[in-house]
Structure 1
Amino acid sequence: MKALPAPRSAAIPKSWSNLDWASVFAAIIYPALGVLGLIAAAIIGWSFSGVTLVWWYIPLALFTGAVTLVICNVGIGVMHRVWQHKAGELRWPAQVITAFNCVVAMQGKLKDWVNYHSQHHRLSDRPGDPHNPAEGKLWAWMGWLFWRDPNDLKRPMAMWLRENRSVVIFDRHYSLITILVHLVAPALIYLAVWLLGGSLILTLILHASAIVARGVQFHATILGINVFGHLKTPAWADYLLALLTGGEAFHDHHHDEPRSALHLPRRGLINRLVDYNGTALLIFEKLRWARNLEIAPQFASQPRLTAR
């Protein structure tokens, strides 16, 4: 019988010298900057008479955050279900949207994402699983991101992704595209608002709200799925996490039916609102941007909502 690998949390050295600062920035520093931006906007608005804060900034900020969260989830969910588990095929418009949304979500190179997730399914909850919650909930949440085995990052791109030009291009230029999306584009928006005489304080609030929402989505995914997804949780927690992850948090189902494009039944408004990553795939299919979607038999036509 083949021996299992050593537990990752014990085998990977943990020190400041091998800390993955890109992951630290995505998980902690960038969301904190968003919170500081909202605090700064409130202080400026209340401290300077020439700056106006209007009540409708709040619902607009919440809407901006919600849209950002959905964009991030649709990128991760579609990538996860199609490019990881081969639940269908995407044509180039859906490929570009998916890859771009993954950049917005700060998911890193898709090569590494797929390789890590492949190990997770192969060794789920056993030694060698990159984020095995049995090795510690904090490790399964963020430790595995902060301290990486260099050999993991040297793994080649999965064979089935090498023929996908969108994945190859986005991975090859990931750092540049990330800088353009998260730094250059916001700077140009601030400049345009200033030149046009718009409200910079509103721009700051909306920008900060988008950053915070991306952070919420980021942690809902790595904490809600890697940790809570492998524990016994009440149904209300499953559906709350599903809303924050686009349906990815129905993790028991996913391990039972990894190739399913849907994580809830096809029919039913609630199903399609909660599992909106699957709904995005159905929309792509209607637009002929996706084809050959595989759906778990129990979800193909079942009209009622089923809990885990």
Structure 2
Amino acid sequence: MTTLTEAPAPVEERAPERKPRRNWTPWVLLLPGLLWLTVFFLVPILTSVSASVQTGNYDDGFKLTWHWANYQDAITKFGTQYYHSLVYSLITTVVCLALAYPVAYFIAFKGGKWKTLLMALVIVPSFTSFLIRTIAWKTILADNGTVVHTLNSLHLLKITTALGWTVGNHVLASPAAVVCGMVYNFLPFTILPLYTSLEKIDPRLHEAGADLYCSPFKTWRRITLPLSMPGVIGGTLLTFIPAVGDYINAQLLGNPNTTVVGQRIEDLFLRQTNGYPVGSAMSVVMMVGTLVIVMTYIWRAGTEDLL
């Protein structure tokens, strides 16, 4: 008895798999930015770190001797300047936020067809030189000016003098003048991110809050503020980071008792023949301290939308 066996099914030949071609376009587009950051960011930082552990002077040259005592001098001898830089920048950030939020809120929700013009009015003063804008505050806060006359009439200068923020009946050459200049110069950096964040909020959410019998303040606290937090965080960072390193306002509007880190670094770099290493150490300490504060702030704020 014969049995029939089925013929094996033909095996399909598969074409050899082709390796996907690597797309180099993103890397080519990224290359100019990487080169820029390497030349103007990474190299200066490494140079500062290297200079911070050197010894010598301008005449004989500086040598890398791993002199870590420069950091001890940078921290122990200039504690007052670090304190001033931190306090002035924090107060500036808080005041800018308090002033910028209502402005950004009004432009975003009440500006209507005037939004572009209102934002232009916020940005246009920044087209003027930072130095000129700071010098202008010497005229605004002059002893014979309207601001000082009004403050004297309201007897507010007695309070600020008691707190150590002004000197007698003068506002110039005081911590208050320094903060005023910093707030004016950095206020647009707070308004712009806040406006961008607020403009993304759907106005119908406010109407829904009103329909649910929420007061305007409760609607702002429960809806607007949480949704605008990326703008709050971004605006405060864009204000705090340049403010903590600023020294022009302290130099032009302050006095010898309001010196900040930037002024001391300038003195060490330009006016002392052997101050370059300690000045570099101060710069490194300032960068690391600012980075720690910023990263802690972002972590505590928990705003992933910033990234």
**TM-score of the superposition, structure 2-length normalised?**
0.24
User: Highest CA radius of gyration, 1 or 2?
Assistant: 2
**TM-score of the superposition, structure 1-length normalised?**
0.24
Question: Normalized per residue, which structure has more helix?
Answer: 2
